[in-house]
Amino acid sequence: NAGVTQTPKFRVLKTGQSMTLLCAQDMNHEYMYWYRQDPGMGLRLIHYSVGEGTTAKGEVPDGYNVSRLKKQNFLLGLESAAPSQTSVYFCASSSNLAKNIQYFGAGTRLSVL
């Protein structure tokens, strides 16, 4: 059972570089989310999507863009990476029928030098 898959698992960027994190879920979930986790803190919501073609801002959206062109995929983009974006990024998804349960991917550790 794949569930929620995030790629890549690790990445090192230089300041100013761009990259895209991919999240894929095979559970036919309508809702998808991107969180970041900084040391000593819980997860904070960056952006989320309530369905294909829709996106919305979360708690900490600045410096990130997202797209949901296909229901199963949710992309997180960093156009010009900054050291403050060094973090662990988690993707999650949930069903329209059980919105309160979110299933998480294994995370992507990103370092921006």
Partner 1 sequence: AQTVTQSQPEMSVQEAETVTLSCTYDTSESDYYLFWYKQPPSRQMILVIRQEAYKQQNATENRFSVNFQKAAKSFSLKISDSQLGDAAMYFCAYLKGAQKLVFGQGTRLTINP
Residues lying near partner 1 in the complex (CB under 8 A): 31, 33, 35, 40-45, 48, 50, 56, 58-59, 88, 90, 92, 94, 96, 99-104, 106-107, 109
C-alpha span between 15 and 2 (Å, rounded): 33
Tell the burial category of 4 from Cβ atoms under 10 Å away from its Cβ (0-12, 13-18, 19+): buried
CB of 77 to partner 1, least distance (A): 20
Nearer to partner 1, 6 or 85 (CB): 6
- The closest alpha carbon to 89, from 60, 51, 56, 57, belongs to 60
Rounded least distance, CB 92 to partner 1, Å: 8
Of residues 19 and 103, the one with the C-beta less far from partner 1: 103
As a whole number of angstroms, the distance between CA 48 and CA 53 comes to 11
Nearest by Cα to 2 from 100, 95, 106: 106
Residue 80 CB, nearest distance to partner 1 (Å)?
25
Q: Output 85 or 94, the one with its CB closest to partner 1.
A: 94
* Cβ at position 41, least distance to partner 1 in Å: 6
